[in-house]
Structure 1
Amino acid sequence: CQPVAVQLPVGCGPPHFQNPFRGLIDLVAMKQLTWVPETEGREYVASEIPSELRQEAELWRGQMLDRLSMYSDELTELLLAEQPVPVDLIEAVIRKATIHNLVVPVLCGSALDRIGIQPLLDAVAKYLPSPVDIPPVEGKDPKTGKTIRRKADPSEPFCGLVFKVQAERHGDLDFVRVYSGRLKAGSRVYNPGKDKKENVPQLWRILADDRHQVPEVEAGDIIGIVGMRHSVTGDTLCDPKHPILLEPIAFPETVISMAIEPENTAERKKLAEVLEMMKRQDPTFQARESEETGQTIISGMGELHLEVITHRLVRDFGLNVRVHKPRVSYRETIERTVEVTGRCHRNVAGQMLFAELTIRMEPFSQGVKRVVVCVDPGVDLPAAFLNAALEVLAEQGEGGGMLGYPLMNVRITVLGGKTHETESTELAFRLAARDAFDRALREAGVVLLEPLMRLEVTTPEEHLGEIVNDLQQRRAEITHTHHRGQMTVIEAQAPLANLFGYANAVRSLSQGRATYTMEPCSYGPAPPEVLQSFL
């Protein structure tokens, strides 16, 4: 995908600058658009490009047409003949190339100064694909796993995806993208991911703060539904008679946690209700009650994420809360592959129990970040005993490793077992499975994994040395540096445990001139000294 500039900014900087950003040049129509400050962005004036900007505009327009000529023979012929290129042809080529992921139109504007909003919305309508321009959506049959395709056609069976949940006074508002078919108010839909049916009492068309109730929607619409009980972000909704499960939205695992509690016990119930609502709104946020301490633990994508959550509790819901120091959400995995046999040969409540279960535990990272439990095809055990063992192995995997942190990237395979005619029971195999899991975990060796964050720091050149030295002290690995205008951009990976308070540090080192972004990247082995502190 190649970027193609279709606009140029006129001016640069806030209103108090000598040459403030006040408009833009449309390279397609070759007009200057200037916004009227008194109208707060509602009105702009189209005029001829001033002579002092004409040469630069023609240079950028030539580059735009050269790039677009790669995707249109008609445009190429006009350029070679030095003939004028119609605006309609340029827009048609941009649209076609954009739909085929060949180019990305680049526009400019400022939401703060309300400049460039109207041309941006016009570009969305002109260049981005409509539902009929994209391939049919693919999903799976919930029962057979067979691939199903649905066209963006009102005559197809209904299917849609919940992509956002917003809390409302009278119930959650679910935002749904309708991929195929029609949906009427008052109908029932099926959520195949949760195997639940939902009522759709009302349909709302959302236009910023305005809402309009509509009786029916069809393929291509984005609508709001109030009153669904079970559906959350990433869930599929479909016709109960024609089920389809769309590809779910993949959300990263939380990397940081901290304890939170209300300042008075009377607000404990309200806090629990608000946190549950926030979990439905934001799938990257989790809240649970600690079994050891009884405290409420909230988890998120980073220090700033939890700060925003805490601020919302106070500002939006009037809750006075106390928060404790953030804690890194470590994970565990295993070092090597082992095969062990778990045994149960004991007297329980006057009854002799016998069971043996052989398993293999191995590192496994083929796109799966949790514990996978499976059965070797050659295993010949009664179904009830095997299911009891599999259930325990899955529970143990979810329960955590040697250090108490959740396990990830581990596969457990049941290889076989032994039974006794009278002494083997489901309980015996549950005990044997627990023994096998504990043995395997001890022999496989523990590896502590720490969350790594992807950093991008943008700093003036004169502060580059201080920023780099500080990152190295935080065990960061600098992967790339490059220039962006007059600034230097540093790309790095660093352990989250060493990045607490980094916002204040980077401001101090750069006299407030550097900025940074941070997002979860992956998990990596923690150094020996960190592991030793847990042993």
Structure 2
Amino acid sequence: MAISTKDIRNIVLISHSGEGKTTLVEDLLFQGGTISRKGSISDGTTVSDYNSDEKFKKHSINLSVSFYEKDGVKVNLIDTPGYFDYIGEIISGINCADMALLLVDAVSGIKVGTIKFWKMIAEKNMPAIIIINKLDKENSDFVRVLGTLQESLSKACIPVYYPAGLGNKFNGVVNLITKEGIDKLDGINKNKAAEFSTALIENISESDDKLMEKYLETGELSDNEVKLALRAGIIAGKIIPVIPVSSEKGIGIDEVMNFIKIYAPSPLDMGPREAVNVLKDATSESVDAGSTKVSIAPDTGMNFSAHVLKTISDPFTGQISIFRVMSGSLRSNQSVKNVTKSASEKLGQLFFMKGKDMILSDNIIAGDIGATAKLKITETGDTLCDERNSIMFSKINFGEPAISFSIKPKSRVDEDKISGVLVKLSSEDPSFAVVRDSQTHELVVSGMGEMHLKTVIHRMEERYGVHVEIGTPKVAYKETIMAKGDAQYRHKKQSGGAGQFAEVWMKVEPLERGAGFEFVDEVVGGAIPKPFIGSCEKGIKIAMSEGIIAHFPVVDVRVTVYDGKTHPVDSKDIAFQIAAAHAFRQACQNAKPVLLEPVMRVELAIPESNMGDVTGSLTSHRGRVQGMKIEGGVDVLSAEIPLDEMYKYSNELKSITAGRATYTMSFSHYDPVPSNLAQKIIAENKRDTPVYGE
């Protein structure tokens, strides 16, 4: 059966870990006829969690895409991990979906991750359905959890179904839109359901002035009026429907599927997406500032365009690119243009993903999510177009990595393979970054959390056979001065061969933090000829790179060369470089040199019960609290903490809060290291190479 864009639903499932997303996907695929039997997480047989590391850990690590078709509607299900360590996967999922299913536990209710994920949904203005799951569990409480949703997330959270029973008596749901089944509930629940039903209809009527007027006059609305107004309210974000479910027992699944079919937005409902016209041969790094913004509607009659949302490195198939078609349609074996890279790509066979399985297709239309294999240059976030089209969608912002490890190959074989493997892994996961630190000469991998990095390193070993040793990366300290200093240095070399002579007088003074380096020439009367002034600056820069107290780069200093002497024969470029380097070191030694350390800006989302322990621990790690606020019932603490302490603190934070706290981290500034710590660092980094010219 041919599916049109209006019949497509793109749904991303989001929740704190353990709320039942993957099991719900199994239910939906089974009820939708895509699979013949439901898999289980414990057996490692689910469609979504198909990687070996997911089967071993019993939770989702990667974004996965699957789909079902029922009653003329195709529903793409994007299952995402529940741990913030894998936030890149969640960001990709949100970027390609039109609606979110947010799952909440009917026993424990809202968790820290729930608040974070809700904030991400709200920032995208994405319509959402909230699933209160596990109503079959002992101590489950639909009304209590609903109250916390309304208090912590939004007053617009309105139940559209009500549970018939709780715990082991939970056996179905009652429709609050049609009121069918309310009379069969017991007294208390019957009254509560009727109250919720009335509130729902009132909320629906408030979405339109004419409906409100009719409702106030007659006290009722027609079924069609309710349906149209409820759908419009959901798409506009004015109503957030809440549905009780047990994904483990499959209760409420039919109702969820029916609700998605009728009320979830199609790509047409969500309207155009913004892009920019790109000049010929421009790339994402060189898009002209004057490029005009354009709206790309999900219209199959328009030129083809697509946004790549996920790249998978499959050891058998090769690179798989998962994309959403934004406009037009795409055929197998078609040539397309990667506008981001300003290069052409030849597509192979197209297919739809069902977890790890590939369902072949010759055509993918606007609004749908498909995939292809073995593209040569295409990466996550790239824009693909037909040759007549030159538009580009915004690159996906995956945020800044929160934690880093240094890694070192264990053997020569590992060393030969590691570069290519790291390129593949970073292409597959843009939230994973790799750099060769120019200062410490270490290979440093960075990610969103310790769990994230250990997962990537496990993949290196299992998938590619590359083994590494893990260490805490060296902190990129810097040096500067706190006062003014003055020095002069004469370099004279007469032994063997041509002589060398140069004398340089200079003064140094501190600049404000982040200012860098400033060179000033105040030499008069030709005491140092102009060609050798440049030699002096070059020598100073070399000395700055070598450091003055602990072999770390010197920053934020103004150097003024104001006098010197030359020799008519022996003065040379190299002589003035050496003299200036020595003069610089001596001047800085007279100017209160200090060691600087990077300080990070950290935002922590913490359960209220752990706030005291966290702030105490933060202080013990030289952290400084900058502010505190409450977002959706969760305490959010802003602080500054030295990077060296943050390496140690991340594990301690996880231990204190039993893994319930999350944090984001970004560079803030450099600060002087306390003298007692600085002496230890200086002793550990004694100069092991000679000063330039020695």
TM-score scaled by structure 2? Answer: 0.53
Distance 1:446 1:119, change over 3 A: farther
Shift of residue 152 of structure 1?
Answer: 1.6
SS at match of 2:195: helix
CA RMSD of aligned residues (A): 4.9
Aligned with 1:519 (options 657, 664, 680): 664
Whether the aligned pair in 1 keeps the contact of 2:159 and 2:196 (CA below 8 Å) is no
SS in 1 for 2:661: strand
Matched residue of 1:311: which SS? helix
In structure 2, relative to structure 1, the CA distance for the partners of 1:49 and 1:515 (3 Å cut) is same
Note the C-alpha offset of 1:491.
3.4
Q: How does 1:348-387 map to 2 (within 5 A)?
A: none
Give unmatched runs, 5+ long, in structure 1.
343-351, 357-398, 408-441
The answer to whether residue 418 in structure 2 is matched with residue 274 in structure 1 is: no
Note if 1:451 corresponds to 2:600. Answer: yes
Q: Which amino acid letter does the alignment assign opposite residue 179 of structure 1?
A: M
2:303 corresponds to 1:157: yes
How far off is 1:323 after superposition? 0.5
Q: Secondary structure at the match of 1:273?
A: helix
Provide the identity percentage. Answer: 22
Matched, 1:473 2:620: yes
CA contact (8 A) 1:108 1:116 kept: yes
Unpaired runs of 5+ residues, structure 2, are 1-121, 147-156, 175-180, 280-287, 480-511, 522-529, 535-544, 556-587, 589-593, 683-694
Q: Using a 3 Å threshold, how does the CA distance of structure 1 residues 269 and 7 change in structure 2: closer, same or farther?
A: closer
Q: Residue 114 of structure 1: CA displacement? A: 5.9
* Distance of 1:87 and 1:330 partners within structure 2: 68
Is 1:96 aligned with 2:232?
yes
TM-score, length of structure 1 as denominator length: 0.66
Larger Rg: 2
The code of the aligned residue for 1:224 comes to A
For residues 240 and 69 of structure 1, do their structure 2 counterparts lie closer, same or farther at Cα, with a shift above 3 Å needed? same
How far does residue 256 in structure 1 lie from its aligned partner after superposition? 3.5
How far apart are residue 298 of structure 1 and its match? Answer: 1.4
Tell me how far 1:127 sits from its aligned partner.
3.4
Q: Secondary structure at the match of 2:206?
A: helix
Aligned partner letter, 1:455: L
- The structure with higher relative contact order (CA 8 Å, sep 6+) is 2
Deviations 1:286-338 (A, max 9, x none): 22445677753212234343233223334555544320124567899954599
Is 1:138–1:147's contact at 8 Å kept on the other side of the alignment? yes
Q: Equivalent residue for 1:306?
A: 453
Q: In the alignment, which residue of structure 1 is the partner of 2:407?
A: 260
Report the 3-state secondary structure (helix = DSSP H, G, I; strand = E; otherwise coil) of the residue aligned with 1:287.
strand
Query: 2: CA distance between counterparts of 1:264 and 1:124?
Result: 53
State whether residues 329 and 450 of structure 1, in contact with CA within 8 Å, keep that contact through their aligned partners in structure 2: no
- Match of residue 529 from structure 1: 673
- In the alignment, which residue of structure 2 is the partner of 1:234? 381
Q: Report the counterpart of residue 67 of structure 2 in structure 1.
A: none
Q: Deviations over 1:115-164 (max 9, x none)?
A: 65554454444334322223333322221623333322111111111111
**1:386-421 alpha-carbon deviations (Å, 9 max, x no partner):** xxxxxxxxxxxxx9x99979x9xxxxxxxxxxxxxx
Structure 1 residues 446 and 70 mapped into 2: Cα distance closer, same or farther (>3 Å)?
farther
Contact 1:6 1:27 (8 Å CA) reproduced: no
Partners in 1 of 2:223 and 2:552 — Cα distance? 64
Deviation at 1:341, TM superposition (A): 8.2
Q: Distance in 2 between matches of 1:108 and 1:328?
A: 49
1-structure distance, mates of 2:439, 2:381: 32
What secondary structure, in the 3-state scheme, does the structure 2 residue paired with 1:71 have? coil
Deviations 1:230-269 (A, max 9, x none): 0101111011222112222223343543221343332334
Cα contact 1:478–1:490 (8 A) shared by 2: no
Write the deviation string for residues 331-370 of structure 1: whole angstroms up to 9, x where unpaired.
999545998789xxxxxxxxx99999xxxxxxxxxxxxxx
Matched, 1:127 2:275: no
Q: CA–CA distance in 1 between the matches of 2:477 and 2:357?
A: 44
Give 1:87 deviation, angstroms: 5.0
CA 1:324/1:338 → structure 2, altered by over 3 Å: closer, same or farther?
closer
| Equivalent position amino acid for 2:605 in 1 | E
Matched-pair contact (CA < 8 Å) for 1:455–1:492: yes
Task: Decide whether aligned partners of structure 1 residues 104 and 31 sit closer, same or farther in structure 2, where only a CA change above 3 A counts.
Answer: closer
One-letter amino acid matched to 1:477: V
2:360 matched to which residue of 1? 213
The 1:280–1:190 alpha-carbon spacing in structure 2 relative to 1, beyond 3 Å, is: same
- The CA deviation at 1:493 is 3.5
Task: Indicate the structure with greater strand content.
Answer: 1
The counterpart of 1:179, out of the listed 320, 326, 336, is 326
Amino acid of the structure 1 residue aligned with 2:302:
E
Pairing 1:192–2:334 present? no
Aligned length: 439
CA-CA distance at 1:226 after TM superposition:
0.8
What's the CA shift for 1:195?
Answer: 1.2
